[in-house]
Amino acid sequence: MTPSTAADMVSERLVRYAMRGKASLAFTLPHEDPRFSPCPHLARTHPASVLCVPLRAGVEPIGALYLENAALQDAFVLDRMSFLPVLARQLAIVLQNARAFHVLAEQARTLDTANEAVAVLRRAQSQLTKFVPRSVREGIAAHPDGAALVAHEEDVTVLFVDMTGYTELTERIGSREAQRIVERYFASYLDAIEAEGGDINEMAGDGIMAIFRDDDRSAHAMHAIAAASAIQACTLELNAAGGDTVRVHIGISSGTATVGAKRLDGRAESRWTWTASGSVTNLAARLVQAGRGGETLMSAETARRVGAAWQVMAMGPATLKGFDVPVELFCLGERLHGGDRSGAFADRSLPTQGSTREEDKLR
């Protein structure tokens, strides 16, 4: 009932009077009573009798029962209405329940709206997490304030994977078929990287960048090497199963990098990216460019950390873009058993970048 509707049907002045007194009241010709004669409703309707019973829940009234008889005077005699207290209590309970139901209904509607918003956010989250590295998701979950994303120096191993001769493959079989092959092979590569705890930091065309992190500096290098070995093995298996001749070359480097979120301010908007940057990342990128199909090249620091468990072949120095002095390169061999390092290192010359075989260049 709206306020205007209530004013048309009852005497608000009389109701307020009864509720202040907290007692049932019966009136005859209330419009002639000086206490109520200013009331517009009474002045307009001239009821013969009025009954007003406050409805109390506890001490204070929460409403009122209001009855009018337009023709009969003394229609309501309190002494003859012993049932009024019981009726008033029951009506107060009904009114309380109605108000509680209204509140619950409003809260239910609010909760439904909130649940719908949460469902939308969860669907968005499920889509966004596909583009966010695992360690970033875990860092945000552990530190919602974003403390885990602050750029900091950290010892990591960075791995790059590139498909050999991708451009020539695309020209030969078409971009759609080439992309189909890339997706099939890269699905296995991603499994291999994630199985070793690596974070897929970037995928572009025919390349993958992954970051391996661990409190144990040797451990993340070992995981990266194991992932690289698994990737090369996956490639051979998929080639045998599908009749393809895909080859990949991999570059791995270990050391201190700046790890965390970076803000890139463009003219239209700002973008954030999470990555590992610095000379370690640059070296891994140059190593993958210097590699030939089927090779996994690593830096001297990575070789030092994994040499007790893997055969590592010294390739000699190579001149790499962005590095002032020749860089010693090492090529991954087989996993060693029982720590046997005999024959673990072997020399093999490697041309400097720019003089490798044309068909083995990064396309």
Q: Is 269 within the bounds of a domain? A: yes
Q: Identify the three-state secondary structure at position 164.
A: coil
Greatest alpha-carbon span in the chain: 121
Which of 86, 102, 118 terminates a domain? The answer is 102
Q: What is the mean pLDDT of residues 53-59?
A: 85
| Cα separation, 173 vs 196, whole angstroms | 33
Report the relative pairing of strands 248-265 and 199-204 from DSSP bridges.
unpaired
What CATH number is associated with residue 186?
A: 3.30.70.1230
Under 8 Å between Cβ of 295 and 318: no
Report the relative pairing of strands 310-318 and 61-69 from DSSP bridges.
unpaired
The angle, 0 to 180 degrees and rounded to 10, between the axes of the packed helices 217-242 and 175-195 is 140
Q: Are residues 82 and 170 in the same domain?
A: no
Report the relative pairing of strands 49-56 and 61-69 from DSSP bridges.
antiparallel
pTM: 0.61
**Structural domain of 93:** 3-102
Which helix (H) or strand (E) element contains residue 265?
Answer: strand 248-265
Q: Are residues 98 and 156 in the same domain?
A: no
Any idea of the CA torsion for 235, 241, 242, 244, to the nearest 10 degrees? 40
Q: Are residues 70 and 212 in the same domain?
A: no
| Cα separation, 201 vs 193, whole angstroms | 11
Q: Are residues 80 and 172 in the same domain?
A: no
Express as a percent the part of the chain with pLDDT over 90.
Answer: 46
Tens-digit pLDDT profile for residues 6-44: 557 889 999 999 888 888 999 999 999 999 888 999 999
Output the pLDDT for position 264: 72
Q: Are residues 32 and 91 in the same domain?
A: yes
Q: Are residues 209 and 78 in the same domain?
A: no
Q: What is the mean pLDDT of residues 253-281?
A: 83
Which of 34, 68, 102 terminates a domain? The answer is 102
Under 8 Å between Cβ of 332 and 299: no
Angle made by CA atoms 94, 4, 19, in degrees to the nearest 5: 50
Under 8 Å between Cβ of 53 and 24: yes
Q: Which residues, other chains included, contact 82 with Cβ-Cβ below 8 Å and sequence gap of 6+?
A: none
DSSP conformation letters of 166-200 = HHHHHHHH-HHHHHHHHHHHHHHHHHHHHHTT-EE
Q: Are residues 51 and 176 in the same domain?
A: no
- Phi, psi torsion values for 97, nearest 5 degrees: -65, -40
| Cα separation, 215 vs 363, whole angstroms | 36
Q: Is 112 within the bounds of a domain? A: no
Which of 102, 117, 133 terminates a domain? The answer is 102
Q: Are residues 170 and 315 in the same domain?
A: yes
Q: What is the mean pLDDT of residues 45-54?
A: 93
Handedness of CA 240, 241, 245, 246 (dihedral sign): negative
Q: Is 144 within the bounds of a domain? A: no
Under 8 Å between Cβ of 62 and 96: yes
Tokens standing for residue 169: 């493959």
Tens-digit pLDDT profile for residues 83-102: 988 898 899 889 889 989 99
Output the pLDDT for position 127: 67
Q: What is the mean pLDDT of residues 113-130?
A: 79
Q: Which one-letter DSSP state was computed for residue 95?
A: H
CB atoms within 10 A of CB 220: 25
Q: Identify the three-state secondary structure at position 264.
A: strand
What CATH number is associated with residue 7?
A: 3.30.450.40
Report the Cα 99 to chain-centroid distance in Å: 39
| Cα separation, 188 vs 173, whole angstroms | 22
Q: Are residues 90 and 156 in the same domain?
A: no
Q: Is 335 within the bounds of a domain? A: yes
Least confident of 33-37, 55-59, 79-83, 256-260: 55-59
Tokens standing for residue 45: 């309707």
Tens-digit pLDDT profile for residues 147-202: 667 788 999 999 999 988 788 888 888 888 888 888 889 999 999 999 999 988 88
| Cα separation, 255 vs 89, whole angstroms | 79
Residue at 294: amino acid letter? G
Q: Is 52 within the bounds of a domain? A: yes
Under 8 Å between Cβ of 230 and 192: yes
Q: Is 108 within the bounds of a domain? A: no
Q: Is 213 within the bounds of a domain? A: yes
Q: Are residues 87 and 159 in the same domain?
A: no
Q: Is 262 within the bounds of a domain? A: yes
Output the pLDDT for position 354: 36
Q: Are residues 94 and 163 in the same domain?
A: no
Q: Which residues, other chains included, contact 229 with Cβ-Cβ below 8 Å and sequence gap of 6+?
A: 296, 310, 332, 335
Q: Are residues 68 and 189 in the same domain?
A: no
Number of domains the chain contains: 2
| Cα separation, 288 vs 12, whole angstroms | 87
